[in-house]
Amino acid sequence: MLSKTLASLLLLPAALRGVLAQNTTSGTACNNSPNLCDRRYNLVTYLGAHDSMFLRDDSTGFSSSGNQFYNSTVQLSAGVRLLQGQIQLKGNALHLCHTSCDLLDAGPLNTWLSEVKTWMDSNPNEVVTILLVNGPGASASEIAAQYNQAGITTSLAYTPSGSTSSQQTWPTLQSMINSGTRLVNFIQGLTYDSTTPWLMDEYTYIFENNYDISSPTGFSCAPASPSNVANQTTTALSDGLMPLQNHFLYENIAFGIQQPNQSYVTVTNAPSGGVGNLGDAAASCRRSYGRAPTYLLVDFFNVGPAIATADRLNGVSSPVGRTHVSTSILQESSAGALTPNGWIMWSSGLTALLGFWVL
Ligand SMILES: *[C@@H]1O[C@H](CO)[C@@H](O)[C@H](O)[C@H]1NC(C)=O
Ligand SMILES: *[C@@H]1O[C@H](CO)[C@@H](O)[C@H](O)[C@H]1NC(C)=O
Ligand SMILES: *[C@@H]1O[C@H](CO)[C@@H](O)[C@H](O)[C@H]1NC(C)=O
Ligand SMILES: *[C@@H]1O[C@H](CO)[C@@H](O)[C@H](O)[C@H]1NC(C)=O
């Protein structure tokens, strides 16, 4: 009896010390909230930036192929935790390009991965997910080489415990943070390679609703991919697949070509109000799945603001550690040709013209 009491007296301060040490070394918030630390990875809802690196801003001359107004670093600082994009070939090199590198080239894959790595190094309590569409069907080792060039190895990349979704048990965010393996990497169209198990095939772990929507009444929660669970919500969920809710709107321009619908995004990304708003759509998917979607994937993430819906699904009311970004549609400078690039082009054109006449 006496020894038991003595033991518990000795154990109590140790346990308290453990709790205090854990909070001081790792901070108290995981992904912007202390509420999320003890939640398993697959049960958190992450806001995702669709085509994260394809920008509609000064750097691309406000390209109509751009899906985001702010770059991946700004997205992460504002609370986005899923970065989605597309790999294409430029010559022999793996670049991030929107459909084609002639249309919109966001540079070499390893350069962008370095940008993400830099952000993660300065934000050690954050769990981030990357999802890349493998346009050219690059091998796992080719893609892994790009990650390694960016300094991303298995000390940062999460390695799943199971190679199928039903074998996989997702750890809590705190556990991923403690082990340092807090970058989760999915590739759509990956041939699994046992030497790089940390590069995960998307459809082994995730199902998605239809993404090709151009009417605000067209959003659906039914699984569309992978094809073996199309329209089979119960099977998709019982297989342990995580729901990814695509929620972005295209507009049709000439010849069957589509581009992101910017004018309607204030409704598309809104937490409530208006046909096809994100908040109502996510609530509807939560009812349909009996659980919240793991990922919400949107264009122009800052508008809405879309993150309000992720916070609501997570039950987070006072997020911490985010950098505020304007919720407006980013407008091209009204000075038009007088923006620095435009001015240089205009003045060098004039110089060429004058040169022609002078000569
Ligand atoms: C440490 O964090 C946990 C949750 O992560 C919390 O429950 C606990 O109260 C915190 N302890 C202190 C001393 O702040
Ligand atoms: C991202 O955008 C911010 C704000 O415009 C800028 O300061 C930063 O240099 C950009 N980062 C990269 C890697 O392009
Ligand atoms: C799923 O359901 C939709 C709507 O009912 C239908 O258009 C589509 O063809 C179905 N897909 C499959 C694979 O059954
Ligand atoms: C964008 O979507 C809205 C809502 O459906 C529609 O009224 C508008 O015409 C679309 N924009 C274009 C350019 O198609």
Section 33-56 average pLDDT = 97
Express each pLDDT in 209-259 by its tens digit.
Answer: 999 999 999 999 999 999 999 999 999 999 999 999 999 999 998 888 899
Q: Would you put residue 164 in left (φ > 0), alpha (ψ -120 to 50) or beta?
A: beta
Question: What is the whole-number distance in angstroms between the Cα of residue 218 and the centre of ligand 4?
Answer: 13
Q: For residue 206, how many other CB atoms are within 10 A of its CB?
A: 23
Section 97-112 average pLDDT = 95
For the CA of 118, the closest atom of ligand 2 is 13
Q: Which ligand is nearest to the CA of 27?
A: 1
Q: Would you put residue 49 in left (φ > 0), alpha (ψ -120 to 50) or beta?
A: beta
Q: CA torsion sign, 62 to 66 to 71 to 76?
A: positive
Q: How far is CA 94 from CA 4, 49, 100, in A?
A: 63, 21, 12
Give the total residue count for the chain: 359
The predicted pLDDT at position 344 comes to: 37
Does position 15 have pLDDT exceeding 70, yes or no?
no
Express each pLDDT in 279-317 by its tens digit.
Answer: 999 999 999 999 999 999 999 999 999 999 999 999 999
| pLDDT above 70 as % of the chain | 85
Q: Is the CB of 251 under 6 A from ligand 4?
A: yes
Q: How far is CA 290 from CA 104, 200, 241, 283, in A?
A: 39, 25, 13, 10
Bridge partner residues of 49 (DSSP): 83, 298
Tokens (6 digits) for 265: 């995004």
Q: Is the CB of 126 under 6 A from ligand 2?
A: no
Residue 72 CA to residue 322 CA, distance in Å, equals 14
Tokens (6 digits) for 152: 């991303």
The predicted pLDDT at position 295 comes to: 98
Whose CA is closest to 300, among 334, 282, 325?
325
Question: What is the whole-number distance in angstroms between the Cα of residue 332 and the centre of ligand 4?
Answer: 20
| pLDDT above 90 as % of the chain | 81
Does position 88 have pLDDT exceeding 80, yes or no?
yes
* Residue 131 and residue 184 in contact, taking contact as beta carbons nearer than 8 Å: no
Owner of token pair 């979607």: 293
Residue 179 CA to residue 331 CA, distance in Å, equals 42
pTM: 0.86
The predicted pLDDT at position 334 comes to: 60
| Strand extents, DSSP E, the chain | 46-49, 82-90, 93-97, 105-108, 128-134, 183-188, 199-201, 206-209, 223-225, 242-246, 250-252, 258-260, 295-298
Question: What is the whole-number distance in angstroms between the Cα of residue 296 and the centre of ligand 3?
Answer: 22
